[in-house]
Amino acid sequence: MPNFSRTITVKEDINTVYDFMSDFRNLSKWAEGDDGELITKEPLRLGSVFRVKTHFNNKPRVYDYEVVEWGPPLRVSLEAKASIFTIVDTIFLSANSKGTELTYSVNIKFKFPYVILAPFVSILFNKVMDTQIKSLGEVIGEA
């Protein structure tokens, strides 16, 4: 079960970072080629769902991400289920003297027998995570 995590310190305050990261309508600003649309009613909360158009390995994909953990301003988790896996994106935040420490973590749970895909996905997904954390630093302002 691959788990990917990256941490960065950004200049913005913790509440601003939480509002930005928990709203997957902002994906297009930091995840190249991704686009999120809220398909449930405002306000954002536990149970809110975003339809995310993304791509992986040069193939377009669409997933519905549900907010499964809502803990402002420290933590939010969103989960998407597909035929071969479940993916959980979790954002952990903590305030510090420079701004906010942001940890973006992605856990992929493959269904049997697709667990054999994990090593191959890991190679590609590590590159995606490196790109996304760099983009977050540019968009939010790395400290």
- pLDDT tens, position by position, 47-60: 999 999 998 777 89
Going by pLDDT thresholds of 50, 70 and 90, the confidence category of residue 123 is: confident
pLDDT of residue 128: 87
Mean pLDDT of all residues in the chain? 93
Q: Select from 1.10.1040.50, 3.90.79.10, 3.30.530.20, 3.40.50.960 the CATH code of 3-141.
A: 3.30.530.20
Nearest to 117 by CA among 140, 92, 83, 91: 83
- What would the two tokens of residue 99 be? 């701004």
- Within 8 A by CB and 6+ apart from 100, the residues are 9, 10, 12, 13, 14, 17, 93, 94
- What would the two tokens of residue 8 be? 């960065």
Nearest to 2 by CA among 130, 133, 124: 124
Q: State which H helix or E strand residue 134 sits in.
A: helix 118-136
> Which pTM value belongs to this model?
0.92
- pLDDT tens, position by position, 79-118: 999 988 999 999 999 999 999 999 999 999 988 777 777 7
pLDDT of residue 2: 64
